[in-house]
Chain A
Amino acid sequence: MRSLASLGVLLVVCGAVLAADKPVPRLADGHPDLNGTWDNGSGIDFVHPEKSADGSVCVAGCPPAPAASAQQTSSKTPAAPPPPRTSPQPDLPKYKPEFLGKVHELDKNQVRTDPVLRCKSPGLPRIGPPDKIVQTRNQVVFLYDDVSGAFWRIIPTDGRPHRTDVDDSYLGDSVGHWEGDTLVIEANHFNDDSWLTDNGAFHSTELRVTERLHRIGDTIDYEAVVEDPKVLQEPWHPKHRLLKLTDMELAEPAPCIDQDLKHLVDDSHHANPR
């Protein structure tokens, strides 16, 4: 798994290198301009729609491309092996031994215990990188178009400390500062009603998340470090994400209304990419 994570980092780095040819735009204060709508993959990188000339679209379960089939039948040469695939599942957090049973139990019963399945906020860091960034001199606003709905974070960058008069929440209280050209965001004041990722990865209210955003050309290298000393053995590093600047503007997310959990006849589930 660690090698796959390394491959993911390598791919991000390669993407960033390719994007580095383009100069980083800057705001009047000299900081990199992070404004824009950013394609972060939305956790559905595995989806590769196939479009036909007649307007047909295959989103999933697509038959093999005719060209590939013809090639296989017309040639005696064995087909080349498929390119290596990276697992959609990042390395999981390492829990203290006394909490492993709880993680296992939540995982085993995920279809009944995962808050996201009931349209609750995924929380930070599960929500992933922002879909849109609005940056001013004193603050940065993150906008999210999530399967659970629309979410936002207001992140002051004027040096003020964390608020002490806010309730614990899914996305926490965030403050940001610049370290060179990297925007560093620290978030705390989380509730414990979200998971870090799939597989029963719960957290406590002692959760702390540090995000680092570094613009390279028309991309942003996004990384997060997750600390929860109450339940985790060590900080958890979700996989790096490479955000790509896009012209596609955000649209109002569709309402999240679960209509199918009551019809499930068993507990089987698949890995959640985020």
Chain B
Amino acid sequence: MRAGLGCGVLVAYACLAGVAAAHHSLAAEFDTRKLIHLEGVVSRIDWSNPHIYVSVDVKEPGGKVATWRLECVPTAMARKAGITKTQLFGEGGTVQVEAYPARDGTPQLGYLARISYPDGHHFQFGPADTLASAGK
């Protein structure tokens, strides 16, 4: 399990202008120039507004489990995309996550750009096209 940090300039950042739909800029809270790759297990979904939060338990190199809190889109956007709370939780197993870390240094806090499930399908909530440079 790893929490590798990769960097890349997000050319497509403008696409995120309306992601949060909660008026503050995504870049005001998260470092959209960096993508973190996480591997873990979804442990909780907070189906709330103005943002859904996805908790992912990530096993760190020493064996300790750290729970990442990942901000996601508002429920209306998920609903419009046909994504339910149950679907976002998945059916267990290890998920692959790309996320932007919090700019204020809060540990294990990020924005969920993409989550990929064991069967190969994924949900994307932000540009994740810097994966190649993210050390995945």
Q: Which residues of A contact B (CB under 8 A)?
A: 42-44, 46-47, 49, 51-52, 54-63, 88, 110-111, 114, 116-117, 119, 145, 147-149, 198, 251, 253-261, 263-273
Query: Which 10 residue pairs of A and B lie closest in terms of their CB atoms, listed nearest first?
Result: A61-B127, A49-B81, A268-B25, A55-B121, A58-B124, A61-B126, A254-B75, A256-B49, A56-B121, A147-B49
Alpha-carbon separation in the docked complex, A119 to B51 (Å): 11
Give the number of residues in B that approach A within 8 Å (Cβ atoms): 52
Residues of B contacting A88 in the complex (Cβ-Cβ under 8 angstroms)? 18
Instruction: Specify the chain B residue showing the minimal Cβ separation from A52.
Output: B121
The complex places the Cα of A135 from the Cα of B12 at a distance, in Å, of 46
State the B residues within 8 Å of A (CB): 12, 15-25, 27-29, 46-53, 71, 73-83, 102-104, 106, 109, 113, 119-129
How far is B27's CA from A156's CA once the two chains are assembled, in angstroms? 45
B81 with A117: CB separation less than 8 A: no
Known contacts A42-B76, A254-B75; A47 and B81 CB within 8 A of each other = yes
| Assembly CA distance A85 to B40 (angstroms) | 40
Q: Report Cα–Cα, A198/B125, bound state, in Å.
A: 24
B109 nearest CB neighbor, chain A only: A263
State whether A60 touches B124 (Cβ < 8 A). yes
Contact in complex: A43, B29 (CB < 8 Å)? no
Do A198 and B47 touch across chains, with their CB atoms under 8 A apart?
Answer: no
- Measured between beta carbons, the chain B residues less than 8 angstroms from A265 are 28-29, 103-104
Q: Which chain B residues lie closer than 8 Å to A43 at the CB level?
A: 21
25 pairs across A/B with beta carbons < 8 Å?
Answer: A42-B76, A47-B18, A49-B80, A49-B81, A51-B82, A55-B121, A56-B121, A59-B73, A59-B81, A59-B124, A60-B127, A61-B124, A61-B129, A116-B22, A251-B79, A253-B75, A255-B49, A256-B48, A260-B29, A261-B24, A266-B25, A268-B25, A269-B24, A270-B17, A272-B23
Q: Closest approach, in angstroms, between the C-beta of A236 and any C-beta of chain B?
A: 20
Q: Kindly state the separation between the CA atoms of A254 and B46 in the bound complex, as whole angstroms.
A: 9
Q: A60-B126, A61-B113, A117-B22 are in contact. Are A263 and B120 (CB under 8 A)?
A: no
